[in-house]
Structure formats: structure tokens, C-alpha cells
A and B are shown apart, each in its own frame.
Chain A
Amino acid sequence: MGMKLRVASLLVLFILGCVVLVLRLGFLQFVRGPELERWAMAQWTRDVAVSPSRGVIYDRNLRPLAVSANADTLVALPAKIENPDETAAKLAAVLGISPEVIHRGITRRLDQVYIARQISREQAAAVRALNLPGIDFKIETDRYYPNANLASHLLGFVGIDNQGLGGLEHKYDATLRGTPGEVRNPADGRRNPLQNVSPEYVPPVPGQSIVLTIDEVIQHIVERELDAAMTRHQATAALAVAMNPQTGEILAMANRPDFDPNAFNRYTESLWRNTAVSDSFEPGSTFKVVTAAAALNEGVVSEEDRLFCTGSVSVAGVRLGCWRAGGHGSLNFAEVFWRSCNPGFVDVGMKLGRETLQAYIDKFGFGRRTGIDLPGEAPGVMFRRMGPVELATTSFGQGPAVTALQQVVALSAAVNGGIVYRPRLVKEIRDQQGVVVQTFPKEVVGQAITADTSARVRTLLEGAVLYGSGRNAFLEGQRVGGKTGTAQMVRAGGGYYDGRYIASFIGMAPADDPSIALLVIVRDPQGPYGYYGSQVAAPAFRAMMVDILRYLKVEPHSGGSVLTEPALVTVPELRGLSTTAALAHLRDLGLNLRMEKVGDRVISQTPTPGAAVSVGTTVIVELGTAQEPLGRIVVPDVRGLSMRDASLKMSAAGLRIVVTGTGLAVTQDPLPGEEVDISTIVRVTFRP
């Protein structure tokens, strides 16, 4: 009897247990079913990356300049959307897009619709937390430039589909972008998708990376000094190109104004332009290197040949002036080069002759594209027909239009032994593992001049810095060579602007075996330091070279050249002169100018005339209009002073002294205390 009860109760318990289990099962299946199903789906499937990772752009030391990172892209599957209004509202709140736009997207009759591409991680996490049906993620790659503006014109940028849109991103797009992967849904003959068969996944082939010839450090130095020059000289634009003259590798290339490729569409299109390769302009005196190299190579002139500059030269009835108002007088060719005398170069150009000069211009690579691996290179503009006037102006660099890149290639050829190399920006291509798959060796385009001539050109360039207009590029302990240039800006429609110039300096270092060729161009300097290449571009060149040579571990040495010209110069009388005349006068002496206030005449100056200062000193002048009286001066008392002290005191007061006798001053005329005009002559007699 007890046993039956026990068995019966066990049976009842057993049945109860089964019922509970069935109820639980029903509950799980029907009530929590859909939610659990979604969990399971999320567990079984992964977001598969279909877009390939884009290759990295490295500088020559493998420092990344452009990288790609995965970013989530929001995709809607309209067939699976359950509540479009609610879904749209919730998404709008997270993404900051209007709900109407989202609603329109998710109700379209398509398999998949993009809602938002490459959203931030925070936004992606927020959307995931919403757990909305029919909303899915896709992994796309996003391009990022960690150095912001650095080398922006070179790198270019990419569009939303990771297509290269300019610069190296565009030129090497095929290499960088890789091959997209595929998710293939197997279908039967009638293109109906087969059920219960997993889709086939073909992984993407990642893009290859490119290693540039650019050195990030040199690029940074160059860009920093360009910014400083732009501010200091209140210029409209500036650019610089640095190249290794022995290989053709571009070490730096920068343009100002610039942009941030991370947000390229916030900048106007004109800022994306790589001026250094895409724009051609009249080079000015820096082109004289070509004329000089050609002339020396042909033997039509040698450094000691004497030439005479009267201040202008007449060619076929056209008067071409020298920048120095009264002319340079008698000079040898080396001095013509150092002081950048235009009539001297016209003479040399005539001696060369039209055809020969043209041939050399061509051999140096002007008039056609260099073939650098960048889009949008300009070939420049040469004269189609060269008459005598065109020959004359071409000799000193006005007339033909060249790009900055062409100039650097030509200078490199002029100083490296005469070899014209093709400039290039990419050193190697590497795969994702870092294995080098392709290298780009240096490429010889031709030979422009002999190695001997090249050595003579190097000497000339070094002389221009030591003795000529390139003084402001002088670097103590280093051997630097270069040429200044000041070109008038061409006006659209013909002719030149008045008072608007392009200041440039092209040079190389070390002068005996150059490892870097550098061109600096500053466009339309309107600041208080003048507009000459020697005053605007040469100092910027120097600032760059100091750090670049230090970085390249080119040791300064005490055996380096020193300025052998007298280190002290007497400050001239500038008061009453026009600004142009004052600039020219100071440039001639190797002094710099800083202008304050506004006007067309110099009203006062510091230091005062007669002061002995070292070469390179800046003279500060106050400008005013011609009507302002220059003021009267009280004659100081110099009686009892030595000749030297008396002279200095007179000059400091703005008067000129005429000395008679020797010893100490005894009499002076006019007498102390009298009021006279500036520059009046005071006669002083000295007795021992």
C-alpha cells in the first residue's frame, strides 16, 4: 500500500516536472523567442570586412604620413526594419541627422541602404546599444593624416569611397587601394538564393604601402620657416623645394597657403594646388645660374673676363636697366654673377647666341615636364621665337616661365657634375608585411654640362654668398652657395606690376660636395623688410639650412670659409631718398632694411649715417611723405676731439665733415650751436 503511494506521488512529481519544463520551453520559445534569436544571430555572424585596408604612405624613415583605420558604417536592411518611425527617431537622436532623412532611407525598396558612413566609435556603440532590428554595421576604412597640414599638397587626400583625389593618393591609387573582398550568396540556375547554404566570403586583398623620398624632419623645418617668412614679410604665398642633387630624390616640398587633408572639403579648391609643380612663372635672377653654366661650358666667357655696366643696356631699341641705378662700372664676370648685374648677363647671352642658349635651356629640362610622380605638373612656357630682346631678357631670367621644380632640377645638375636627374617622390613599394616589393633607383635624363664646368659653377655660387647678394644666406662654419632672385610679377594681360615682386633664393650645401639643393620663393612680400631676394628669401633659406645641415649631421668646421670682405661698413645717408633707392643702396653695401610708418621718402634712420656696422646689420628707417620738412640740425661741438671722434660725432648728427690737417680739432665752421640743414658740410681744422 505505501509503495503504491510512493510510486504514484513520484509519477505525479515527474509529470509536474515535465509540465513545468514544457511551460518554460513555451515561454522561452514564444515570449523571449525573437530576442534570443537575435542574440544567437549576433553570435553566429560577424561583421565581415569587405573594403580592403588602404596602404600606408611613409616618409623615407618609415614614419607614417597617411594611415587607414577601420570605421563603422551604418547600414539599414529595409526588409527587416520593424518600426520605421521609432527607428528613425532613435537613430536621429544618436547620429544628429534629421529623422526625416533617415526615415526616407530605411523605407527604400532596396536590399541595403547606407545610413551614415564612417561614424565615430562612440556613435557606433550608442547605435549598437539601441539593438534596433534591421540596422547593421559594415566595416569601412577611414583615411587619417596624423601630421595634419604637413606635406598636404604632396599627399593629397581621399574621398568617401577611399578613392585618391589628388597628390600621391591619386597618383598611386592603384597601388594603395588593394582589391575589395566579396560576400557571395550562392544561387541556383534561376538566380534564387540557395537556402541553408552559408554565403561564401572572399577576403579583401590589402593595399600596398609606399615609402617616399621625403624626410619628415626636413619637411617640417622647411614648412616652419615658410610660415615664419610669410608672416615676417607679409607675403601672399611661398614655397620651397629641397632635393638631393646626387640622386634626384625630393627631400621636401611645401607650399603656402596650405590645408588640412583630414578636412580637405572645408578649404577652397585653389588651396589644394601644388604650386611648386603646377604653376610656372618668370624666375628672375636665379635663372642666371643656367646662363652662367652654359656660357662657361661653351667657353664664351671666363670668370676673369671684364665687362662694363653703365646702369642699362639698349637692345634693339629697348632699354633694359640694371637694378643698381648708376651701374656697377667695370667688373669681371665672377663679380657680374655675384652682384647679379643684368647688363653683364645680357652681354654674356649675346655672346652665347640664341640657338646655343636655347639648347642649354632645353638640356637643363626647361620647357617640358620633369616627369615627377605627381599629377598636374606644368611644362612651363618658353619663347617660341627668340628675337634679340627675348634673348637678352632670357639671359637674366625674365621672359620664360618655369616651375619651381624645374629650377631645382637644373640647379642640381649645375652643381652635381652636370647630370640632370629625374626628380621623384617614391623610394619603394612595400606590402602589408613590410617586405619591399619594388624600388625606384635614380634615373639619369641627360648631361647638361661637364663636371669641370660644374665645379666652376659651384665656386661662383659660393662666391655669391661670400661676396655678393647672397650674403644673408651665409652660415658660419658651413660652405653654402646660392643665387638670389627678384622677379617682377607678371600682370594678367601683359606687362608687369609696379612694386610687386617674387623674391627667391636657390642654393646648395656643402658647396664642395652638395648633399642638398634648396629653392625658396616668397611671393609678393609687402612687409617692412623690402622685397629683394637677398632680404626676403635668403634669410629664410639660411634658417632652413642651419637646421637641415645639423639634422643631416654635416658638421660645421673651423676651416670653413669666412666673409673676407671688410666686416665693417659705413652706414650711408638715406634720408630724403625714395624707398626703392634706399633699398638698392643698402643692398649694394650688404646691409638690410626695415621700414616703419608709411610714406615714399626716408625721414629718419637708425643707425645714423657714418656709423660703422658689420655686414648684414639692419638699418631701421622711418618713412614719410616728401612734403615733411627733414628738420634742421644743431651743429655739435667737436673742438678738442680726435679726427675719428669728430667724424663720428658729425655723422651721428647727420652732417658731413671735411677735414684739414691732423691731430686734434681746433676750429670748425659752422660754429657749434648753429642750425643747419641735414648733410651740410662742416669744415674742421686739426692741429697736432
Chain B
Amino acid sequence: MPRFVRRAALTLAICGLLFGYSVHRHAQIASSERDIAHLTAEIAEMEAQNAKLQIEALALSSLPRLERVARQELGMMNPQGRQIILVGVTGGN
């Protein structure tokens, strides 16, 4: 094999490898960029959902609703002016 051919082939091979490596890196960058875009979109999505949940929390803690739940579901009532609460008495005289 003529010497220059061998050298040319070697150079080509190295160039090819470098080229391949460069393409590989570009692909990696593109892939990372896509990941970033996805994550950014995810963050935006979560932020939007967070905002929506905050509004839902506001609606759930509205005073009319709280009073309704307290009265109807938890059986609470207004304290009276005079109220008698029985306290357990231990021991005796």
C-alpha cells in the first residue's frame, strides 16, 4: 500500500471520528435543549396549576362555606350567653 494512501486513510478516519464526535455533541446539546424546553413547560404548567389550586383554596375557605360546613356537617352552634358545661368532678367530701 503506498504510504501516502495509508496516511490519507488514517487522516480521513481521524477526521471522520472527530466529525462524528462533533455531531454527537451537537445531538447531545439539542437533546438537552429539548429537555430544558420540556422542563420549562412543565414548570409553567405547575405554576399555572398552583395558581389554580390557590384560587380553589380561597373558594373553600370562604366564610359562608365555612359556616355552612361548621353548622351542617360538624354540628357546631353559636355559643349562648350563659352556657353550662359539665365538668367531671373527682373525689368527694
Contact = CB atoms under 8 A, between A and B. Distances in A.
Given A69-B52, A121-B48, A144-B55, A220 B64 contact: yes
Contacts of B62: 146-148, 150
Interface string A499-527: 00000000000000000000000000000
A43 B81 contact: no
B67 A224 contact: yes
Interface in A141-186: 144, 146-150
A7 interface: yes
Contact of A70 (B34, B40, B48, B67): B48
B33 interface: yes
A121 B52 contact: yes
Interface string A214-229: 0011001001100000
A3 interface: yes
B51 A69 contact: yes
A67 interface: yes
B1 A220 contact: no
B63 interface: yes
Name which of A7, A42, A146, A149 has the most chain B CB atoms within 10 A of its CB.
A146
Given A3-B1, A7-B9, A70-B48, A217 B55 contact: no
Interface residues of B, number: 18
A43 B52 contact: no
Nearest to A121: B52
A3 B3 CA distance: 13
Interface string B64-93: 100100000000000001000000000000
A147 B63 contact: yes
B15 interface: no
Contacts of A70: 48, 51
A146 B34 contact: no
A4 interface: yes
Interface string A57-76: 00000001001011000000
B1 A43 contact: no
Nearest to B67: A224
A677 interface: no
B86 to A, nearest CB: 24
B34 A43 contact: yes
A148 B34 CA distance: 42
B81 A476 contact: yes
A223 to B, nearest CB: 8
A147 B64 contact: yes
Contacts of B52: 69, 121
Interface string A286-320: 00000000000000000000000000000000000
A64 B57 CA distance: 11
Q: Does more than half of chain B's interface fall in helix, strand or loop, or is it mixed? A: helix
Interface string A112-130: 0000000001000000000
Contacts of B48: 69-70, 121
B37 interface: yes
A220 B62 CA distance: 9
A62 to B, nearest CB: 12
A43 B33 contact: yes
Contacts of A476: 81
Contacts of B64: 147-150, 220, 223-224
B43 to A, nearest CB: 12
A640 B33 CA distance: 108
Nearest to A64: B58
A474 B36 CA distance: 68
A7 B13 CA distance: 12
Interface in A465-486: 476
A368 to B, nearest CB: 35
Given A3-B1, A7-B1, A70-B51, A220 B58 contact: no
Nearest to B56: A146
A614 to B, nearest CB: 15
A224 B9 CA distance: 91
A57 to B, nearest CB: 12
Contacts of A64: 58
Contact of B59 (A44, A146, A149, A220): A146
B65 to A, nearest CB: 8
B58 A217 contact: no
A67 B62 CA distance: 14
B59 A4 contact: no
A315 B9 CA distance: 127
B38 to A, nearest CB: 8
Interface string B18-59: 000000000000000110010010000000110110010011
A46 B39 CA distance: 13
A4 B64 CA distance: 92
B55 A69 contact: yes
Contacts of B37: 42-44
Nearest to A11: B9
Contacts of A224: 64, 67
A144 B62 CA distance: 13
A304 to B, nearest CB: 35
A146 B58 contact: yes
A44 B33 CA distance: 9
Interface in A17-65: 42-44, 46, 64
Nearest to B47: A70
Contacts of A46: 40
Interface in A100-140: 121
A596 to B, nearest CB: 27
A43 B31 CA distance: 11
Nearest to A69: B51
B63 A67 contact: no
A4 B58 contact: no
Nearest to A216: B63
A477 B55 CA distance: 40
Contacts of A216: 63
Interface string A180-215: 000000000000000000000000000000000000
For A7, A121, A147, A217, which residue has the most chain B Cβ atoms within 10 angstroms? A147
Nearest to A476: B81
A146 B9 contact: no
Contacts of B59: 146-148
A309 to B, nearest CB: 36
Interface of B: 1, 9, 33-34, 37, 40, 48-49, 51-52, 55, 58-59, 62-64, 67, 81
15 contacts: A7-B1, A43-B34, A69-B51, A70-B48, A121-B48, A121-B49, A121-B52, A146-B58, A146-B59, A147-B59, A148-B59, A220-B63, A220-B64, A220-B67, A224-B67
Given A69-B48, A69-B52, 19 more contacts: A4-B1, A7-B1, A7-B9, A42-B37, A43-B33, A64-B58, A121-B49, A144-B55, A146-B58, A147-B58, A148-B64, A150-B63, A216-B63, A220-B63, A220-B64, A220-B67, A224-B64, A224-B67, A476-B81
Interface of A: 3-4, 7, 42-44, 46, 64, 67, 69-70, 121, 144, 146-150, 216-217, 220, 223-224, 476
Shortest Cβ-Cβ A-B pairs, 6 listed? A146-B58, A220-B63, A146-B59, A147-B62, A43-B37, A69-B51
